[in-house]
Amino acid sequence: MKTWMKRMLGGTAALLGLIAGLSIYAPGQRADVLALARQPPSNAGPSATALPSPGPLAATASAPTGAPPSATAPDAEDPELEALVTAMRERYGARLDEPSVQIRMLEELMRYFQKRSPDRWREELLAFLEKAFPERYEELAAMLRNREDYEKWVKDNDAYLRGLGDKERRAAVWDARNRLFGKDVAERLWASELKNQALADTLRTLDTTEGAGLTEKLSAYKQKLQEVHGEAADAYVARHQQELMNRFLDLSSIQRELGAMTPEERSQSLRTVRKEMGLDEEALTRWDTLDRTRDARWDAGARYMAERAALAKELSGEELEARLQEVRARYFGTEADIIAQEEASGFLRFERPRVWGRN
């Protein structure tokens, strides 16, 4: 019996491994409305992937929140469902006070029951919830209904939301979230988005702050990271070092300041940014080497483009291309063929803007 149950639980776990959360959230803060609507919960894993959309959403408004009809209850003798009950209780039971955990579990179950019973998945899911979590049935059924109502609202208002500016769109989306889930639950579900937005607002302010240099802006940035993430700030920075560095270095004011520095000053400033983001000495040394390699490549690129322009004034056609092959080989060695292919497609890599610390 124990061996059989292990096989059943193992099979169910394997099935659930294919069930990623259809998050009503997805990373990003851009104008795409569905992306706005689908920010990941604060403790959702980065590997979460979208599940298929649920069945006809028009029916969600009448989805039952009371006990489901007994006719729809899952078969108590169904070993697969019994194993699924055990798996869900073990995986989520102790953490169901957290709304994002409720959502993640519901979305796993949606995927499972949509595949198992496409025409009756909602009824079977509700019956399953009553069996697996009777003490939380009303709460979970309401969360399921709110989750579906929210997705329906996003889809129904797609065109309207796309026509709004960023600020107005964000206000409309949050109004819907607060109305459907309640303000406290909505803020907990979209905690990551709120944190990212706070950092984005800070960076936007820093970029336009007059009289503050790189060092002062970096200090303010680190302080905001501490405020937003609290005790988890160091761990968050350690997990997102590259992203956080890039967001800071991408500020136009920082790029202007770096561009006005001498190579030695710029090298030291980039090292300071990276060190403040938690990179160790070994990593800093690797970055120093990469910066020197990039500088040499861009210097060669500038000389090549000047020589290329001079040749283009004198030659054309096959004669020009033959000379350019020689010049590219002289400047770029083994990369010459790649650059030739890029130019044939109309892309001139050294006409791109130089982004210090990034390319």
Burial class (CB in 10 A: 0-12, 13-18, 19+), 22: buried
Closest CA to 269 of 307, 200, 214, 317: 214
What gap in Å lies between CA 307 and CA 329, rounded to an integer? 13
Q: How crowded is residue 117: how many other Cβ atoms within 10 Å of its Cβ?
A: 15
What tens digit of pLDDT does each residue of 29-39 get? 333 444 545 54
Residues sharing a CB contact under 8 Å with residue 11, sequence separation 6 or more, in sequence order:
80, 83
Q: In Å, what is the CA distance from 65 to each residue of 62, 92, 125, 182, 286?
A: 9, 20, 12, 17, 58
More confident residue, 144 or 64: 144
b (16+ CB within 10 A) / e for 280-306 = eeeeeeebeeebeeeeebeebbeebee
Q: Tell me the Ramachandran region of residue 354: left when phi exceeds 0, alpha when psi lies from -120 to 50, beta otherwise.
A: beta
More confident residue, 24 or 352: 352
Closest CA to 104 of 210, 23, 197: 23
> To the nearest whole number, what is the mean pLDDT of the chain?
84
What is the number of residues in the chain?
A: 359
More confident residue, 25 or 167: 167
In the three-class reduction of DSSP (H, G, I as helix; E, B as strand; rest coil), residue 39 is classed as coil
pLDDT score for 78: 85
Eight-class DSSP state of 163: T
What gap in Å lies between CA 99 and CA 185, rounded to an integer? 6
- Mean pLDDT, residues 187-202: 96
**What crossing angle do the helices spanning 263-276 and 281-314 adopt, rounded to 10°?**
140
More confident residue, 254 or 25: 254
pLDDT score for 47: 35
pLDDT score for 74: 53
| E strand or H helix that includes residue 297 | helix 281-314
Backbone dihedral angles phi then psi of residue 220, each to the nearest 5 degrees: -65, -40
37-46, 67-76, 107-116, 266-275: segment of lowest average pLDDT:
37-46
pLDDT score for 68: 53
What gap in Å lies between CA 351 and CA 167, rounded to an integer? 34
What tens digit of pLDDT does each residue of 40-64 get? 444 443 333 333 333 333 333 334 4
Closest CA to 358 of 204, 222, 251, 282: 251
pLDDT score for 31: 39
Report DSSP letters for 112-151, one per residue: HHHHH-TTTHHHHHHHHHHHH-GGGHHHHHHHHHHHHHHH
The three state secondary structure string of 6-27 is HHHHHHHHHHHHCCCCCCCCCC
Task: Compute the Cα dihedral for 137, 140, 143, 148 and give only its sign.
Answer: negative
- Mean pLDDT, residues 145-154: 96
Reading the block at residue 49, the tokens are 């992937």
Q: How confident is the model at residue 317 (pLDDT cuts 50, 70, 90)?
A: very high
Structure pTM?
A: 0.73
Closest CA to 147 of 179, 178, 103: 103
pLDDT score for 76: 52
Q: How crowded is residue 163: how many other Cβ atoms within 10 Å of its Cβ?
A: 10
